[in-house]
Structure 1
C-alpha cells in the first residue's frame, strides 16, 4: 500500500508549464500560500513563478537571491508571451532595497511597471530618478494602501509614457505640471481614491481622463480645478466630498462654489460620465459640462440614494445626443 503522505514529485512534462504566465499569476493570487507551496512541487514553471513572487517581493531576501537569479525566474515565466526582453514588471514595496528591482527593470527597457507601496510609515513616496527618466516605459501604475501619502516627484521625463494610473495618493501642483509638460505622448490618465491638490491639468495629447472617488482641494485652498485638454475624448469625473465638510449646507455651498469656478476645455469630448458631488443639490454643473462639449455622444450619471436627480430635471443637450445615450446608474 502506498504512503498517502508521499510528497508529489516534479514532473518534466507537467501541464502547468504549458499555461501562460498571466494565467499562473491569477491562480497564484487565488490560492492560499500553503496550497501554492504544494503546487510548487508539481511544476517547474510554477516553482519559478512562486519563487519570483514570494521570495523576491514579499520577503527581504534580495541579497541572498541576487539579480541574475531573479531575472532568470521572471524571464522563464514570461517566455510564452513571445516578447523580447523584460516587458512587464511589478514591485511590492516593502523596503529600501526595492529600488534595485526598479533600476534593473528600467535598465532592461521594461515597458510596463507597477509599483505597490505597503508601508504606512512614510509621509512621502519617492520614486527613483532612474525610473522617472525611462525612455521605454509606456505604462506606469503607482498604488498605495496607506493614508494617501504625498507622491514626491521633483522632475521627470517619460517620453514614451502612454498610460498612467495612480491610486490612493496625494497629488500636488508640481506633479500635475510635470505630467502635463514632461509626458508628451500620454493618452490615458487615471486618478482613483486620490487627494487632488493641483490647480490645473493641461495636456494636448490626453484622450482619456478618469477621476474616480477623488477629493478635490483642501480646507485651505479653492476646490476648483482647471482641465485644459483640447483633444480629450473620454471624461469620467466622480468627485467626492472633502472630509472637512460635515454639514449639508456647507456641502451645497461647496458645490456651488466649485461649479461657478469651473474652467474646462473639452471641445472634442465624446463620452462623459459624471457622479458624486456634481449631481448633488444643483444641475448647473452638468449644464456647464454640456455647454463645453461640441460633439458629445454618450452621457452617463452615477447616482446614489442621496443624489438629487429625478425624471423632471431638464437641461439643454447637444443635438447629436439621443435620449438612448443618456444613462443613469444607481
Structure 2
C-alpha cells in the first residue's frame, strides 16, 4: 500500500512538470508574448525549438530603451551617444526584418534619433503601415537633448518636398496603410500640417492624436462629424497659431504652449474635458472667451493660473464642472483670493487638484473673502513641499470646503519627472521626497480635523 502511494505521488509530480503552456494554440501564445516587454518576449526563443521564432509574431513592438538612454545621458555628439544610436537602430531593424506576424497593434520608438537615421525610420513607418498598426508612437528627442529634429517621412503618403527644411506639398496619390490606426503620437518630430490633416481625413477609426514639440505645425482643423477623433493633445508646438474644432466628435482637448493661440470651438456637444496651459497675463480673459461656447457643458477643466491678480475679474459659472485642476504659483500672495473665485464659479465641484510650483519666498497670503463650498469632497496637492504657504492653503481648504472628505498630498514635482536631471539624480530626489512625506504626515496628524482622510502618495 505504501509503495502504491509512493508511485502515485511520483506520477503526480511528473504530471505537474508537463509543459502545458506549449500546447496552447499559437494565437494564444502570441497574445501572451505580446503582453511582455519586447526584450523579454525575445528571450523566450531559447526555451525550445517551438519557441525559437514564436516571439517574432508579437503584436506589441515597444522599442523603449530607457536603460541605454540613462547610461548615455550627456549632450549628443559624443562617441557613446553615437554607438548607442547605432545599437538602437540595428535593434529595431533586426526585429522589423524578423517579424512574421500578420499584424501589429502597437509600434513605438523612443530614442534620440536625427536625420542620419531617416532611411531606417522610413522603413519602420512603412512596416507599421503594412502591418495595420493600431497605435503608433514616435519620439525622436527624449530626455532633454537638443539637436536637429527629424522630419516625419512624408514620402510614404506620396507627399513631395522640395528641400530639407520646406513643408511638403500634397501629392494626389493617397496611401491607405493606416485604416486601422486608432492612436497616433508624435513627440519631438517635425510633422507638417498636411501630414496631420491627412491622418485626420484618411484614418476612419483614429480616436486619439497627440503632438508634442513639433516646429512645422501652425494650424490645425478638426472639422466635421466624419472625423472620428475624440482626444486631441497639442503641447509645446511653438509655431502654432490657430486651432479650429467645429462640428466634431471631440470629447477631450488639451493645449499647452507659451503663447496665446486663436482657438475656435463651436458645436462640439460631446466635449467635456478641456486643459489649457499658457503663459500670458491675458490668459483668463482670452481663454474664457474662447471657451465660452462649451464652458457650461464641461465636467473637467485644467488651467494654468500664473497671472496677475485683478479684483474685478469675472469668472463665468460652470454648473456641470466636477473636476478642476489648477497649475499655479504656490507663493502667489493672491492665491487664496483667486481660488475662492474659482470655487464660487464651480458650485458643484467634487474634486480639486492643485499642482504647485514656487518662485520665491512668501510673507503672507492676502485675505480671501469668506465662502463655504458644500460639494467639494476631495483635494489633491501635487508638488507639496511643506512650506508655510502650503500649510496656510491646507487651513483655508479645510475651512472653506465644509464637507471635505479627503486630502491627498503628493510631493512629486511633475516638471522634474520630465527632465533629464530626474534620471541622473533619481536617488537624491526620492530621498528628499520621502523627507517631505514624513513632515506632511506629522503636520496633518496634528492639524487636519477628524473625519477628513489624509493620504500621502
Sort the TM-score into its range (normalised by shorter chain). Answer: 0.5 to 0.7
- TM-score under structure 1 length normalisation: 0.61
Match of 1:318 among 352, 369, 373: 373
Provide the rounded CA distance (Å) in 1 between the counterparts of 2:374 and 2:196: 49
Distance 1:167 1:174, change over 3 A: closer
**Alignment of 1:162 onto 2:230:** yes
Q: Is the 8 A contact 2:273 2:298 kept in 1?
A: yes
Distance 1:237 1:325, change over 3 A: farther
Of structures 1 and 2, the larger Rg is shown by 2
**Alignment of 1:288 onto 2:341:** yes
Match of 2:181 in 1: 110
The 5 A counterparts of 1:90-129 are 90-92=137-139, 94-98=150-154, 100=156, 107-118=178-189, 127-129=195-197
Provide the rounded CA distance (Å) in 2 between the counterparts of 1:287 and 1:52: 45
Match of 2:208 among 127, 131, 139: 139
Provide the rounded CA distance (Å) in 2 between the counterparts of 1:92 and 1:99: 19
Q: Tell me how large the CA RMSD over aligned residues is.
A: 4.5
The 5 A counterparts of 1:60-79 are 60-61=119-120, 67=126, 70-71=128-129, 74=131
User: Unaligned stretches of 5+ in structure 2?
Assistant: 1-21, 64-91, 97-108, 141-149, 159-173, 377-401, 412-457
- TM-score under structure 2 length normalisation: 0.47
Match of 1:236 among 295, 302, 310: 302
**What do residues 190-246 of structure 1 show as CA deviations (whole Å, max 9, x unaligned)?**
335x324126564543212234xx3333xxx83332232221111222445xxxxxx
Match of 1:210 in 2: 275
Match of 1:87 in 2: 134
Distance 1:36 1:222, change over 3 A: same
Provide the rounded CA distance (Å) in 2 between the counterparts of 1:133 and 1:92: 23
Secondary structure of 2:404's counterpart equals helix
Match of 1:245 in 2: none
Match of 2:217 among 141, 151, 165: 151
Provide the rounded CA distance (Å) in 2 between the counterparts of 1:261 and 1:126: 40
Provide the rounded CA distance (Å) in 2 between the counterparts of 1:62 and 1:125: 19
Secondary structure of 1:169's counterpart equals coil
User: Unaligned stretches of 5+ in structure 1?
Assistant: 1-10, 76-85, 241-253
Q: Is the 8 A contact 2:122 2:156 kept in 1?
A: no
Aligned length: 270
Match of 2:56 in 1: 47
Q: Which has the higher contact order (CA 8 A, sep 6+)?
A: 1
**What do residues 142-192 of structure 1 show as CA deviations (whole Å, max 9, x unaligned)?**
123xxx7463225443632111122332375521xx12x25x221112335
